[in-house]
Amino acid sequence: MKYLLSVISILLLGSTIAQSLSGFVQDETNAGIPFVNIYVKNQGSGTTTDADGKYFLRFTDPGVYDIVFSSIGYETEEIKVIIEGTNEVNKNVWLVTDENELEEVIVNSKKRDPAYGIIASAISQKDRWNNQFNSSSCKVYIKAKEVISEKEKKKRQKEAEKELEAAENSQDEDVFATAEKKEQAANKLKQPNMNMVEINLVRHFQQPNKIKEIREGYKKYGSSYGLFFLNTSEAVFNFYDNLMSLENLNVLPVVSPLHFSSVLTYKFKLVETTFEGTRKIYKIKVTPRKSGNASWEGFIWIMDKSFNITQVDLSLDKGGLILYNDFNIKQTYQFLEDSIHTLKRQEFTYTSKTNRSDFEGNTVVTYTDYVINPTFEKRYFKNEVAVTTQEAYDQDTSYWEKIRPAPLTIEEQNFQRIKDSIYAYQNSDRYLDSVDSVFNRITLLDVLWDGIEFSNRKKKRYMYFSSLAGLLDPFEIGGLRVGPDFTLFKKWENEKYISVSPGVDIGLRNGDIKYDFSLRGRYDPMHAGYAGIWTGKLFNTIVENDALSNLFLRSNWIEENRFNAFTSRELFNGFYANLQFRYIDRHAIDKYKFNPEADDWFEGQNVPLTFENYQTSIFVLGLNYTPFQKYMTEPNRKVVLGSKWPTFSFYFERGIPKLFGSDIDFSYISADVNQSFKLGTLGTSSYRIRAGKFINTNDLRYVDQVIFPRGDKWFFASLMASMQIQDTTLTVRDQYLRVHFAHHFNGAIINYIPFVKKLGIHAVAGTSALYIKESNYRYLEGFIGLEKVFKVQRSRMRIGVYFVEATSNYSNITPRIKFAVNRYSLRSKNWGY
């Protein structure tokens, strides 16, 4: 175990114990010189000074080193330093101005491409252009569209032609239904294969990074799934920042070409010099020094003398992109009154290729009508980054024709006209009734397998009855069960809904009846307000997250008569409260008859627990708080965007004696903190720390204790919820502490290995620990693994193999190799673990 943890420590911490050299580089007046190139002679490693002339250089081995300091306009200086022991060497260096190295000489130097000098000058002016004003307001127009490839378009046209032929040959007596089918097929033939969204908004900005959007118009044609940049806070492409955190686009923050040490990441080449009026513009080619997933490639245009960016045309490598196969940004700037430098236009081009179809996306964003340094009322920005009213969704054609910076193309106009026609038709009473009439027809397949469904789209009402196959449940602990299920769902225009689901079944082996009934709904969509009740008689597992082989052990099952009532709601931004009351009448299942053939699946005896029946009345309070949670407000809902702060959770559970005959008496509290965050270009770290304690245990039964299940034999469980190879199931009656940490390197290590980096494999490492006070149990595990991301249709999947080693003070634990498959969630913007 100690060897694995040593490897993990090296991976996670790097060379933090290595020797170092630091100091300032100054000119003859003792002023710090920014962006001096510093490198170790004959080794290729190096760094640059920061804006104040300070530098820091790390060494892994002791020895005598020659350090070279060079900067445009100064004579190159070379010094010799001795690195020994663990001492930090401090060395200040003074550079002498090179009087013969004029600007023209720099630009025409044969020793070094003039692009490096231009980039260095642009870096020195970053603060000027990044902090021109304290606040601004401007109008923003966004047009995002996704076009399906010609191959896919032809495929869909063939399908539509078949539908049209079938409709024309139809012998249906309902002439209206036949006409509707023809119309639908004809529309599919005419319709361009495109999805599009138009947004018009006012963007308010305040330094350093506060944004609030007021959306005045929003129009969606087709699906917005996969479209990029539907709000200006989705990704900030500020090339004056050193690192650009593009969380929904790339797995790692991307290094800007104007990073203070960009010469270590990029090669630059001056390819063209043009003029804009009397001002010279340099076009510079940007090439990564090594392939990876955190660097740009393309061109950047920089203006002479002021050294501001006028334009970029840059692309990202597909290895780091989360959803897309390739991504390009074209970004242009403008001067306001010859002094203020602002963003003018952005264009994003991206593609997504799957096994079945190809999609090309394009988003164009224009920025107009700037107001510099407007005054905002106190606490105007808060955590709400965007507001969309119902009026924005209801804007008509004349509004969009008036505000568009450029007319739509003929193809886009045709697409919108057809989409508007189809939308009006598909929302008519006649169409909805016709669709429901088809949907509500009962077929033999519905009866046998799919289930019987009825819908009323106008009233937003849906019903479901189980099929004959759905009547059967062969996997229950007591053997085959037979019984129907029913669901009634009703939703309103304001996003409130209610759902009713009763069910009943009988066990054929034991002749016992089980039932359940749930009634739940959403009463406050804007603040995640839910409430409901559930009651039933059922079999239930004691340890839900147990190893797969343990889930079917009879000792892991009990019988419960249960009544639950709950309500949950966001009380203020980021703070959620959940109240529950549970009454449970628990019974052992030792009197039930089981399938004796199942005993062969398990080692040893497979017998249920035995205990006297008892009742529980339990009150639960759960609180979750994420500070500074960002969100967008829609007409009837709130869209949560997340926070850079951890989530803090508190949980209180009280078993109340004598209430409704309750036999238990205990109190339990726990606290939890968890977070995921990026460590620059080194990857993403996640952690979870949870501590729990039973305040009193006057009558605490096994089922109500905190239970830590043993790890599964082959499957790698959630990093933040499980111990991977704990060899036994443990219970807690006093207090415990558990810690989980994992770091996904996202290519930060593999990219340095030739050839292997082309495989798209990423490294991950982490550790978990558990301490149980009453038994003085101490458990520590560490793991390292390799993960490969791949696509299934338009979804991102991740498969991993992991080596896990652990130690505890109770037993010797055998290391294991485990496997996992995980899916990326576009809704939550993460992998789950």
Whole-number pLDDT of residue 47: 82
Domain count, the chain: 4
What is the tens place of the pLDDT at every residue in 329-343? Answer: 999 999 997 789 999
Residue 389 domain-assigned (yes or no): yes
Q: From its phi and psi, is residue 379 left (phi > 0), alpha (psi between -120 and 50) or beta?
A: left
Of 239-243, 780-784, 818-822, the one with minimum mean pLDDT is: 818-822
8 confidence band (pLDDT: 50, 70, 90): low
User: Which range scores top for mean pLDDT: 97-101, 562-566, 674-678?
Assistant: 562-566
What is the tens place of the pLDDT at every residue in 591-626? Answer: 999 877 766 666 656 889 899 999 999 999 999 999
Closest CA to 781 of 804, 748, 749: 804
- 204 burial level (CB within 10 Å; 0-12, 13-18, 19+): buried
* Residue 325 in tokens: 């196969």
Residue 284 domain-assigned (yes or no): no
Whole-number pLDDT of residue 278: 81
Residues 140 and 229 in one domain: yes
The more confidently predicted of residues 504 and 712 is 504
- In angstroms, the CA 215 to CA 386 distance is 7
| b/e sequence 74-98, b meaning 16+ C-beta within 10 Å | beebeeeeebeeeeebeeebebeee
DSSP-assigned letter for residue 446? I
790 confidence band (pLDDT: 50, 70, 90): confident
Average pLDDT of the chain to the nearest whole number: 85
Whole-number pLDDT of residue 318: 78
Residues 95 and 140 in one domain: no
- In angstroms, the CA 316 to CA 297 distance is 7
- In angstroms, the CA 456 to CA 352 distance is 36
The more confidently predicted of residues 271 and 171 is 271
Whole-number pLDDT of residue 527: 95
Is pLDDT of 142 > 70? yes
Is residue 547 within 8 A of residue 710, CB to CB? The reply is: yes
* Residue 658 in tokens: 């004598």
CA distances from 644 to 629, 678, 718 (A): 8, 10, 22
Is pLDDT of 823 > 80? no
Whole-number pLDDT of residue 225: 76
Average pLDDT value for residue range 295-299: 95
- In angstroms, the CA 566 to CA 585 distance is 18
Tell which of 101, 126, 144 closes a domain: 101
Strand partners, 297: 315
Whole-number pLDDT of residue 245: 86
Residue 329 domain-assigned (yes or no): yes
For the beta carbon of residue 665, count every other beta carbon within 10 angstroms: 16
Is residue 146 within 8 A of residue 360, CB to CB? The reply is: yes
Q: How many helices (H) and strands (E) does the chain have?
A: 11, 44
410 confidence band (pLDDT: 50, 70, 90): confident
Residues 745 and 788 in one domain: yes
- Indicate the helix (H) or strand (E) that contains 398: helix 397-403
Strands 384-388, 630-633: pairing kind: parallel
Sorted by sequence, the CB contacts under 8 Å of residue 57 that are 6+ apart come out as 20, 21, 22, 38, 40, 45, 46, 47, 67
Is pLDDT of 16 > 80? no
Residue 161 domain-assigned (yes or no): yes
Residues 480 and 419 in one domain: no
Closest CA to 582 of 622, 624, 535: 535
* Residue 6 in tokens: 């040593």
Residue 749 domain-assigned (yes or no): yes
Whole-number pLDDT of residue 187: 55
Average pLDDT value for residue range 56-67: 83
What is the tens place of the pLDDT at every residue in 736-752? Answer: 999 999 998 877 777 66
Average pLDDT value for residue range 61-69: 86
Whole-number pLDDT of residue 177: 45
Domain membership of residue 51 as a residue range:
17-101
Residue 56: which CATH number? 2.60.40.1120
The more confidently predicted of residues 699 and 21 is 699
Average pLDDT value for residue range 753-779: 87
Residue appearing with tokens 């959403």: 522
Residue 411 domain-assigned (yes or no): yes
Whole-number pLDDT of residue 247: 80
Whole-number pLDDT of residue 309: 96
Whole-number pLDDT of residue 44: 62
Residues 220 and 365 in one domain: yes
Whole-number pLDDT of residue 10: 45
Residues 418 and 477 in one domain: no
231 confidence band (pLDDT: 50, 70, 90): very high
- In angstroms, the CA 310 to CA 229 distance is 21
Is residue 148 within 8 A of residue 359, CB to CB? The reply is: yes
Is residue 643 within 8 A of residue 576, CB to CB? The reply is: no
- In angstroms, the CA 800 to CA 816 distance is 14
Residues, the chain: 833
Tell which of 396, 426, 456 closes a domain: 426
Residues 372 and 491 in one domain: no
Residues 713 and 826 in one domain: yes
- Determine the 3-state secondary structure of 596 from DSSP: helix
What is the tens place of the pLDDT at every residue in 552-575? Answer: 788 889 999 999 999 999 999 999
Is pLDDT of 179 > 60? no
Of 148-162, 299-313, 353-367, the one with minimum mean pLDDT is: 148-162
Is pLDDT of 356 > 60? no
The number of C-alpha atoms within 13 Å of 199 and in the hemisphere containing its C-beta is 27
Residues 374 and 391 in one domain: yes
Whole-number pLDDT of residue 188: 54
- In angstroms, the CA 727 to CA 729 distance is 7
Average pLDDT value for residue range 652-661: 97
Phi, psi of 199 (to 5 degrees): -135, 135
The more confidently predicted of residues 122 and 147 is 122
Percent of the chain exceeding pLDDT 90 equals 51
**Roughly what angle, to the nearest 10 degrees, separates helices 175-190 and 429-439?**
100
Residues 657 and 673 in one domain: no
- In angstroms, the CA 588 to CA 590 distance is 6
Residue 154 domain-assigned (yes or no): yes
* Residue 107 in tokens: 């630009």
Is pLDDT of 538 > 80? yes
- In angstroms, the CA 146 to CA 350 distance is 9
Of 354-358, 765-769, 808-812, the one with minimum mean pLDDT is: 354-358
Residues 790 and 682 in one domain: yes
Tell which of 55, 84, 101 closes a domain: 101
Whole-number pLDDT of residue 110: 42
Residue 636 domain-assigned (yes or no): no
| b/e sequence 731-758, b meaning 16+ C-beta within 10 Å | ebbebbebebbbbbbbbbbbbeeeeebe
Helix, strand, coil percent content, the chain, rounded in steps of 5: 20, 45, 35
What is the tens place of the pLDDT at every residue in 360-409? Answer: 899 999 999 999 999 999 889 989 999 999 999 999 999 999 999 999 98
Whole-number pLDDT of residue 385: 93
Whole-number pLDDT of residue 606: 81
CA distances from 172 to 166, 180, 429 (A): 11, 12, 21
- Determine the 3-state secondary structure of 470 from DSSP: helix
Residues 707 and 816 in one domain: yes
What is the tens place of the pLDDT at every residue in 35-46? Answer: 788 888 877 677
Is pLDDT of 522 > 70? yes
Whole-number pLDDT of residue 38: 86
Residue appearing with tokens 């627990």: 609
